Structure 1
């Protein structure tokens, strides 16, 4: 017994000195392994947070390896077969699969209204179906955005009951069900609760009994108890001002998130979806992989718990995840019998980028066969003097998110500034066209003169176009801010904000959140960090309410007390 312990200790020490975990599966030439190692070189060493990669190809694990540490404090190395990561939103496809199992059992239908299974969900006047929830087309407000606005921290213990009580208080939707796509975690918490109530088991128990055990996913579970001990769990980290810090996660809810798994288990799961073992499973996977359709008949790239994202001419079905410092990505290519999973415990790891670089190595021949032509080169920048650049400066209204973008000159570059603080340099590639720098993808900003004035068009790498019209930004007068001061209460969140004028600024205060300044945009519209606030007046011209909008919440009412 003593000798066995000694040998294990020696092996552990050797792993620490090497800085990477031993391979659990290796079927590739040394040159290929070296190429993969170079992709993950930033994670090499025991003093770094880590990552694990696994590749499934032609019916087996073709490659898997761990890099860096699962626990930096103790220098415990990452392994691809045993280190368990929280994979955040990659969870959602498992939640949809659980719903489809119950549909196959005859216990429910994707077209059931959610109130049939969870009557506490408010009646918004139009039925919200399980199908709407599974495709992010329900119009419901996102749980995380609601909780944060209500004063919760994301490292608080958040249970399903907390989320259900919040849902129960909602009075409005962002839009009518089926009209739009807007990513919504709330829907998947409700789907998981539907599984629990329909099956008589907890969601964690149901998925263990009906999914993980039958598929032999021995290191996979849904984590719904923040005090539960999970052997070999990786802890998460982020970097602030070049200092590594722990990113604490205490979720006690599952469905939208909270799947714990390994890189190897994820690609085994992907193989199950790529190669369904029965007609029953084949029908379920076909439903999961089908593009969701809006009321107007259009699709938007979203399927059910997944997204269809073609990659270099190949069909890819994928989803990523991000909670605390955990990051994950699972991409599968059914037509090539291929899947790649990258999981990490470091917030800046970028697993989608890493995974697709690995895919490039393994799918090189397929990519060459299926690409329609060479990828066009990135357009070169052109010279433009500062006076010409200044002509594009100004403020542009982003109507979809009820906020603005600012263009201004700094150190010889135009800056694309987002309300809330983040910004990127843009460089000219034509008289009125600019490319966005420092983001690793080809995004183009174009300016045109139209009847209503100047319009800025943003085109993302996927071809989606956003138009933003210029407007005159007005600096707020501190003397006028007094009319906005007061207490604002949201019955839907059961929380209040105090607006006060301090040192010439209008500030928002909450008893659990940092003070945030409100910046006047135009009229009675302000930005509050990344959010937008529109103030409403009563017939006497007095401020009566504040309507707050975020990317996943629209016009949440705070009544002035």
Structure 2
């Protein structure tokens, strides 16, 4: 079990149990000044017809601000107030994290337990998935937000907890070996909620009511396990359509554990004060919630128990964001400062930026390094055209994601799939920076013969591709036919529309495919980032595999039916 670096963890722990701190050097806004500044920051006039926000600021156990802006319901012009009930989306995960931490502290489960000990319906993937893997998003279990959509579901559909679990039980392969990588998985937290139900004998809603919400006095907070339930003062989610008008976002999700928690800023004040100063009987649970776990190779993973841990400016931080059905939510706790900021919006927005701006009024910015102390980089070497040509070619960053490097004069350029061409800056031999990629670098490595064989970008080893017969030179009708997924219980038809290859689904309609490299195509929708066909030894197309973000290599077999 990994914890924070020693100094950081000590600061967090002090923040969790201390009641007071030394005064900040930075002048803090008085409560009346704070309200005026937040009013200006949110920028929603009282009579404006638009969705809104609820903002909570808690400092040293005192609520400095708890205020609503805009409308919770547009047709009826119901204003947002501190008791408006929002869908917290993924901010819900920390409450599932608390449940698991409590079961661990109480000795009812062990983080090293195989999840199949409690949920045997989950397939045996050949590698053990532990509770710890699920908690820290390192299980390799695919995210249902990708798989359900590929199966033909709409996010407007009724999506029940049982349907999500059944999809997990049909999963045929993992994204990766458990513990090898971090990949955010809502499905993992749904499995944790099911674990709580099976260990406790209570529904997840009953367990969280009895062990979290009732003890803390959170009377307007509940996990919604029935999408038809009438929730008093519930806000609706809205998005602005291309016509400029606001439209309602349907919300029929019951993803217990990962989402579907409904609450108010008034109730969340009790929660963040509990995190900053837990009751004695809950102190060990909160301490457990803050622990992280490294990857198999020892690299750190900053996701704890439903919370991301890190730092904000000069102080340790704990936070989580949420996004579903036009709700955008963010919870930020700075334990060392005994400061918490919560922003809940019922429209597409960036509540994290709002919360961090408010927090910045209380926390000093880090001092800038004096110019004379900044590292001076040596002048990069001068490379000839022939030297630069060693790097040119196409490299595979991932399924449906390639980058092609070209030379123009003495300048190297990079162009990723469906992106523009950008210049590369030489830093040292075999090392380039790309300013357009947020200053990330590409480092090149050669094989025994001195030829470049791969580059490393954002920690990924990306092989240089041999020049195959491009898909545009192949007979596209080789790909046409029907393809079936046993895992997703759905099928697609691959069809040719002129010189355009398309997927057709009975619910999703026609989806375009564009050649990426060889048999790999890029889809026109986010859930089909890569559609890569595979062949038998004779070169006959046998199927394709779909990769999209948190769900990799989902298999579809070609069928003669």
The bucket for the TM-score relative to the shorter chain is: 0.7 to 0.9
Deviations along 1:53-76, one digit per CA (max 9) or x if unpaired, are: 101111121112111111112111
Shift of 1:34: 1.9
User: Which is worse superposed, 27-36 or 547-556?
Assistant: 27-36
Measure, in 2, the Cα distance between the counterparts of 1:89 and 1:29. 30
Q: CA, structure 1 residues 467+538, in 2 after alignment: closer, same or farther (shift >3 Å)?
A: closer
Q: CA, structure 1 residues 479+173, in 2 after alignment: closer, same or farther (shift >3 Å)?
A: closer
- Superposed CA RMSD in Å reads 3.3
Equivalence for 1:554: 552
Are 1:78 and 2:80 matched, yes or no? yes
Measure, in 1, the Cα distance between the counterparts of 2:257 and 2:233. 22
Within-5 A mapping of 1:9-88:
28-42=30-44, 45-79=47-81, 81-88=82-89
Measure, in 1, the Cα distance between the counterparts of 2:201 and 2:306. 23
Corresponding residue SS for 1:212: helix
Shift of 1:166: 1.0
Are 1:173 and 2:169 matched, yes or no? no
Deviations along 1:35-69, one digit per CA (max 9) or x if unpaired, are: 21121015764411101110111112111211111
Shift of 1:417: 7.9
Equivalence for 1:411: none
Corresponding residue SS for 1:139: coil
Equivalence for 2:493: 498
Shift of 1:126: 2.0
Equivalence for 1:257: 259
Equivalence for 2:22: none
Measure, in 1, the Cα distance between the counterparts of 2:511 and 2:413. 23
Q: CA, structure 1 residues 302+217, in 2 after alignment: closer, same or farther (shift >3 Å)?
A: same
Shift of 1:252: 2.4
* Mapped contact 1:534–1:546 kept (Cα < 8 A): yes
* Mapped contact 2:397–2:460 kept (Cα < 8 A): no
Q: Which TM-score applies when normalising by structure 1?
A: 0.81
Q: CA, structure 1 residues 415+122, in 2 after alignment: closer, same or farther (shift >3 Å)?
A: same
Measure, in 2, the Cα distance between the counterparts of 1:166 and 1:372. 50
Corresponding residue SS for 1:554: strand
* Mapped contact 2:532–2:546 kept (Cα < 8 A): yes
Q: CA, structure 1 residues 77+534, in 2 after alignment: closer, same or farther (shift >3 Å)?
A: same
Are 1:164 and 2:165 matched, yes or no? yes
Q: Which TM-score applies when normalising by structure 2?
A: 0.81
* Mapped contact 1:142–1:185 kept (Cα < 8 A): yes
* Mapped contact 1:447–1:454 kept (Cα < 8 A): no
Equivalence for 2:6: none
Q: CA, structure 1 residues 74+456, in 2 after alignment: closer, same or farther (shift >3 Å)?
A: farther
Within-5 A mapping of 1:272-351:
272-278=274-280, 280-347=281-348, 349-351=349-351
Q: CA, structure 1 residues 270+429, in 2 after alignment: closer, same or farther (shift >3 Å)?
A: farther
Measure, in 2, the Cα distance between the counterparts of 1:246 and 1:418. 36
Are 1:151 and 2:152 matched, yes or no? yes
Are 1:229 and 2:230 matched, yes or no? yes
* Mapped contact 2:399–2:520 kept (Cα < 8 A): no
Equivalence for 1:487: 482
Shift of 1:163: 1.3
Corresponding residue SS for 1:399: strand
Corresponding residue SS for 1:206: helix
Equivalence for 1:353: 353
Shift of 1:123: 1.0
* Mapped contact 1:53–1:341 kept (Cα < 8 A): yes
Within-5 A mapping of 1:456-495:
476-477=471-472, 480-495=475-490
Q: CA, structure 1 residues 246+430, in 2 after alignment: closer, same or farther (shift >3 Å)?
A: farther
Deviations along 1:432-468, one digit per CA (max 9) or x if unpaired, are: 75544xxxxx92255677756699886xxxxx55676
Equivalence for 1:362: 362
Within-5 A mapping of 1:366-515:
367=365, 371=367, 373=369, 397=395, 399-400=397-398, 402-404=400-402, 433-436=433-436, 443-445=438-440, 476-477=471-472, 480-515=475-510
Give unpaired runs (5+ residues) of structure 1. Answer: 1-26, 378-390, 409-413, 437-441, 459-463
Give unpaired runs (5+ residues) of structure 2. Answer: 1-28, 375-387, 407-411
Corresponding residue SS for 1:315: strand
Equivalence for 2:535: 537
Measure, in 2, the Cα distance between the counterparts of 1:407 and 1:89. 38
Deviations along 1:226-281, one digit per CA (max 9) or x if unpaired, are: 10000111100112223322111111231110010112322321221121211x42
Shift of 1:215: 0.2
Select the residue among 520, 525, 528 that pairs with 2:523. 528
Are 1:92 and 2:93 matched, yes or no? yes
Are 1:238 and 2:236 matched, yes or no? no
Are 1:269 and 2:267 matched, yes or no? no
Equivalence for 1:16: none
Within-5 A mapping of 1:127-142:
127-142=128-143
* Mapped contact 1:237–1:244 kept (Cα < 8 A): yes
* Mapped contact 1:137–1:180 kept (Cα < 8 A): yes
Q: CA, structure 1 residues 427+194, in 2 after alignment: closer, same or farther (shift >3 Å)?
A: same
Q: CA, structure 1 residues 511+59, in 2 after alignment: closer, same or farther (shift >3 Å)?
A: same
* Mapped contact 2:98–2:305 kept (Cα < 8 A): no
Q: CA, structure 1 residues 155+272, in 2 after alignment: closer, same or farther (shift >3 Å)?
A: same
Q: CA, structure 1 residues 208+374, in 2 after alignment: closer, same or farther (shift >3 Å)?
A: farther
Corresponding residue SS for 1:309: strand
Measure, in 1, the Cα distance between the counterparts of 2:275 and 2:73. 32
* Mapped contact 2:415–2:422 kept (Cα < 8 A): no
Shift of 1:475: 6.4
Measure, in 2, the Cα distance between the counterparts of 1:447 and 1:131. 33
* Mapped contact 2:468–2:518 kept (Cα < 8 A): no
